[in-house]
Structure 1
Amino acid sequence: MLEPNRMAWLASQHPERRALFFREHWYTYGELYQRARRAAGALRALGVGPGDRVGLLSHNHLAYLDLLFAGPLLGHILTPFNHRLSLPELQALHAYTEPRVLFYGEGFGEVALALDPKALPLEALEEGEEAPEALSVSLEDPALLLFTGGTTGLPKGALIPYRQLLLNALETAAAWGLTREDRYILATPMFHAALNALATPLLFLGGQVVLMERFRAEEYLELTRRFRPTILFLVPTMFQMLTEAEGWEGLDLGFVRFAISGGAPCPAPVREAFRRKGVRFKQGYGLTECGVNCFAFELAEAEAYPESVGRPMPHLRARLVREDGQEAALGEAGELWLSGGVVMKGYFRRPEENEKVFAWDGERLWLKTGDLAYRDEGGRFYIVGRRKEMFISGGENVYPVEVERVLYDHPAVKEAAVVGVPDPRWGEVGAAFVALKPGETLEAEALRAFLRQRLAGYKVPKHVVFLEELPKTGPGKVNKEALKRLWEEAYGEA
């Protein structure tokens, strides 16, 4: 049987083993668990009990792990807030989740106190008496409440049970071939899925994590030289920023076993830049509601099929469903449905949203991901984009991801995204938003001519808009809803 309090076991097995580096200090597994017990004691003194939400507003910080590992001792639900949101947005999320207590990191005191006059600095977590080791949770109890979406309307809070957290950690370790000798730099936002993407799999295995408070490309490269991570895990934008940062050219990456791109497909030129340094690359796919690593690939096959995310993890079943509810044929795109032990409990206080995303098939519960994918004859899956992002131009389906991959092949293009916009003749056409590399110039028609050499005519965007930089969401993905709003404001209704 899985044990929710994994950190207690790790601390008992190798208390002196280094676990996490933060602010120029290595914390051992014994120290991490001691901190967790102290945090649980501080929360108990504040009246926090099972099921209470504990809010956190901060850059990446050791406190995220303090509160997560304290969960099994007290039964609270860690609820991290996206610190990049505006005060009105945060107020709406705070009212939605009603945390019993809110903690804030350096620089967020004013905002936190506006949300809750009783909000406390992170240092308050270190002032408690160590809580007893008595287990206060079951595998079905929620460990985390993570916000999803948020580009349109109020984000939904996905309840992540201990079952999901532990299964994802164990299966990721097995399917990715992780060992206790592996090390990685945690640089993606911990208010999102960074906690359970690679941090918990490595820490639950006995590996090492180097924690960055905020991602800065030059600092990441310096930490890479210093700590020699065996695995790189970033979103595509971050990988690209590394290739453009000072110090990239002379960087040795011979110690890296492989790199994984999460959040979105990584452009081929970026993958190639790492390949030239001997780094083997594979695409990742996951979503907060399902655990968060959903597919796996052997490295050799991942390199042979670079656009594929691989096959479902051992704990997952996958199916592709057409609009009419029938199974999609090989090579045909359909909505990806997933089923298994890493599916969330549901959205917090959103029964109507649960009805939209869950479907029963006999005794099996399926999660409708909203992502479109197809499967080849080898059982490999390919993500072609969000269902809501696909548009129909002149009766033909256009998948923006396919167009974006070709846009990134142009040597002058730094970033690119495609959205569907209204057109009086074709119904919808593509609008490409493009940011160029420093010093590059490019005409819209020249870019369209480049695309026409590689894509069917109906897939070539009718419009090209050049921007200095593309807007991003909290996790670092391109914010396509913001691009649609930009189009609407500048050129009419989207």
Structure 2
Amino acid sequence: MRNHGLGDWIHRRRVRSAGQTALISAGGEQTYDQLAQRIDKLADALAERGISPGDRVAYLGENSAAFLETLFATGSLGAVFVPLNTRLAPPEIAFALQDSGAQLLIASTPLIPLAAPACRETGVQRVLTVAEGAAAGGELAEFPVPVEDFAAALEAGAEFHRDVSVELDDLAVILYTSGTTGNPKGAMLTHGNLTWNAINVLTDFDLSSTDVALMIAPLFHVAALGQGALPVLLKGGSIILEQRFEPGRVLALIQEHRVTNISGVPTTFQLLCEHPTWQDTDISSLRNLTCGGSAVPLRVLDAYESRGLAFTMGYGMTETSPGATTLPPAYSRSKQGSGGLPHFHTDVRVVDPADQPCPVGEVGEIQVHGPNVIAEYWNRPEATASSFVQEPDGRWLKTGDMGYFDEDGFLFISDRLKDMIISGGENIYPAQVEQQIAALEAVAAVAVIGVEDARWGEVPRAVIVVREGHELTEEQVLRHLDGKLARYKIPKSVVFVESMPRTASGKIRKPDLRRQYA
């Protein structure tokens, strides 16, 4: 076989795991053999529509079998998969389509109102629609390019397995990560990046071919894809795909399917243990609880430990595919708040401004090196140059996060150099939000900070100075942002101030704002 990438995983699994359930979704169950057949047919359908090695295929949809079928079909052709965040606004989706150069878009029918306007003035030449729910009336006619039904195209494809030459260094996925200067950056994840990340998970986690993983986090996020779905499929386990997180339904699925693995953010696990059916649900099958984004509150730890469960926590980012460190369950109490130890095949260091290692306990920038770390950003040579440090032992990713190692080698995150806000597991970069607010004529100065929130961990708050002679209300600000940004990025509150605290060079002092207004 010449394909050494993700595109051949399911083909190699179809005999090893014959009869084993691969996917459970709204469309029913698929064995590994059935999934392999559908991937081959979809790959043929994509090839018939002009997709060849290196071409980009974008996907806009919630968790579904079609999402994973598209990922593996593009990989089997040597093409590139571009998953899009379904919570973005049309201009943000349009940017990703244009920047990636995607020539084909696959979109679920409920998201056609987002997809249709986003396709205008991009390089998308064709759209396949996945029937999931009802599309808004007349929306199909609004596409500026030919539209076909995904299921019909797949069924018309030939069941022929292509053995295209794909190496581990070849590009597999472009995942857009919010930028600190406004526009997102496309992280270029190779087949090797995602393969080595999966190997890290299999090495550091207790996964087996009998595991049943419930995927409640969206697969268009690297955490759900890289830490959840791909390692389980590589091992030959089963995945349950849920499009939305509903605590009561999740608890019912855990009991019904004897789920062993579940991952999410602290809010996810909090809502589960606070649900009325929590105590009456049989969750004895659960073995692996993985939580990221921020530390798990002690009250949530207590709720799960009272039922014999502990968490695996970790630290990472899109650029590390995403695992950088992991905190084993045995240390969830004694090292509470830690990101954990570096993944088995990944190196992590904390350095001073001269890129020299910091002593134990001293805060510095966190940098990551390993086969799971991307080499560059798509069409962003300046971002690539500024994000990596070349050393004799290889290139180190500058994460922009600050932290320190304790005496036992556990990493603790102390601050975010980039002022990033994490709200319910979603990354929000204030610069992008500030850029939109600053477009209002009445705004003299604006800064967006994170404030604590009981449900989402933190949410954005805008601090605004109004220009002399103008008036501005919170309602006007929020209405201006509606449709321009994903809803989770829109501030939940606005504070109007007379002036901003600034440095000698004129930069706004966000630590001062956080102390005063957060």
- TM above 0.5, one fold? yes
Secondary structure at the residue paired with 1:369? strand
What TM-score do you get using the length of structure 1 for normalisation?
0.79
**2:372 corresponds to 1:342:** yes
Which region of structure 1 is more displaced relative to structure 2, 297-306 or 15-24?
Answer: 297-306
Cα distance between partner residues in 2 of 1:174 and 1:15:
24
The alpha carbon displacement at 1:432 in A equals 7.3
Cα distance between partner residues in 2 of 1:324 and 1:344:
23
Cα distance between partner residues in 1 of 2:220 and 2:179:
13
Q: 1:492 to 1:205 in 2, by over 3 A?
A: farther
Structure 2 residue aligned with 1:119: 127
Q: 1:59 aligns with which of 59, 62, 69?
A: 62
Q: 2:451 aligns with which of 411, 430, 433?
A: 433
Q: 1:184 aligns with which of 198, 204, 213?
A: 213
**2:279 corresponds to 1:249:** yes
Asked if structure 2 preserves the Cα contact closer than 8 Å seen for 1:42 and 1:129, the reply is yes
Q: 2:250 aligns with which of 206, 210, 220?
A: 220
Query: What is the CA deviation profile of residues 133-188 of structure 1, one whole-angstrom value per residue up to 9, with x for unaligned ones?
Result: 31331111111111112576111111110001111112211211211121111011
Asked if structure 2 preserves the Cα contact closer than 8 Å seen for 1:317 and 1:340, the reply is yes
Query: What is the CA deviation profile of residues 183-213 of structure 1, one whole-angstrom value per residue up to 9, with x for unaligned ones?
Result: 1110111111121121100110011111101
Secondary structure at the residue paired with 1:306? coil
Which region of structure 1 is more displaced relative to structure 2, 204-213 or 166-175?
Answer: 166-175
The alpha carbon displacement at 1:113 in A equals 2.3
Alignment of 1:249-288 (within 5 A): 249-288=279-318
Secondary structure at the residue paired with 1:153? coil
Identity %: 31
Cα distance between partner residues in 2 of 1:492 and 1:101:
48
Query: What is the CA deviation profile of residues 211-262 of structure 1, one whole-angstrom value per residue up to 9, with x for unaligned ones?
Result: 1011122211111121121122111121122123231232232221131111
Asked if structure 2 preserves the Cα contact closer than 8 Å seen for 1:18 and 1:29, the reply is yes
Which region of structure 1 is more displaced relative to structure 2, 342-351 or 245-254?
Answer: 245-254
Q: 1:488 to 1:119 in 2, by over 3 A?
A: farther
Secondary structure at the residue paired with 2:404? strand
Q: 2:15 aligns with which of 9, 12, 17?
A: 12
Cα distance between partner residues in 2 of 1:145 and 1:262:
22
The alpha carbon displacement at 1:28 in A equals 0.6
The alpha carbon displacement at 1:339 in A equals 0.6
Cα distance between partner residues in 1 of 2:93 and 2:384:
23
Number of aligned positions between the proteins: 420
Secondary structure at the residue paired with 2:11? helix
**2:86 corresponds to 1:98:** no
Listed as ranges, the gaps of 5+ residues in structure 1 are 391-399, 405-416, 420-429, 438-476
Secondary structure at the residue paired with 2:208? coil
Q: 1:169 to 1:435 in 2, by over 3 A?
A: closer
Q: 1:491 to 1:254 in 2, by over 3 A?
A: farther
Structure 1 residue aligned with 2:438: none
Asked if structure 2 preserves the Cα contact closer than 8 Å seen for 1:72 and 1:136, the reply is no
Asked if structure 2 preserves the Cα contact closer than 8 Å seen for 1:281 and 1:303, the reply is no
Asked if structure 1 preserves the Cα contact closer than 8 Å seen for 2:27 and 2:65, the reply is no
Asked if structure 2 preserves the Cα contact closer than 8 Å seen for 1:139 and 1:162, the reply is yes
Structure 2 residue aligned with 1:80: 83
Cα distance between partner residues in 2 of 1:50 and 1:492:
54
The alpha carbon displacement at 1:61 in A equals 1.4
Q: 1:39 aligns with which of 32, 39, 42?
A: 42
Structure 1 residue aligned with 2:165: 136
Query: What is the CA deviation profile of residues 64-101 of structure 1, one whole-angstrom value per residue up to 9, with x for unaligned ones?
Result: 21111113321111101111111122122222112110
Asked if structure 1 preserves the Cα contact closer than 8 Å seen for 2:324 and 2:348, the reply is no
Cα distance between partner residues in 2 of 1:376 and 1:271:
22
The CA RMSD measured in Å over matched residues stands at: 2.9
Structure 2 residue aligned with 1:158: 187
Q: 1:436 to 1:50 in 2, by over 3 A?
A: closer
Listed as ranges, the gaps of 5+ residues in structure 2 are 121-125, 131-148, 431-447, 456-485, 501-509, 511-518
Cα distance between partner residues in 1 of 2:452 and 2:350:
31
Alignment of 1:324-473 (within 5 A): 324-389=354-419, 433-435=451-453
**2:164 corresponds to 1:146:** no
Structure 2 residue aligned with 1:3: 4
Asked if structure 1 preserves the Cα contact closer than 8 Å seen for 2:94 and 2:119, the reply is no
Structure 1 residue aligned with 2:203: 174
Q: 1:105 to 1:250 in 2, by over 3 A?
A: same
What TM-score do you get using the length of structure 2 for normalisation?
0.75
Q: 1:199 aligns with which of 229, 232, 243?
A: 229
Segments ≥4 residues shifted beyond 6 Å: none
Q: 1:436 to 1:199 in 2, by over 3 A?
A: closer
Secondary structure at the residue paired with 2:338? coil
Cα distance between partner residues in 1 of 2:295 and 2:353:
24
Q: 1:23 to 1:156 in 2, by over 3 A?
A: same
Secondary structure at the residue paired with 2:382? helix
Cα distance between partner residues in 2 of 1:492 and 1:130:
66
Secondary structure at the residue paired with 1:84? coil
Which region of structure 1 is more displaced relative to structure 2, 251-260 or 201-210?
Answer: 251-260
Structure 1 residue aligned with 2:470: none
Q: 1:28 to 1:320 in 2, by over 3 A?
A: same
**2:321 corresponds to 1:320:** no
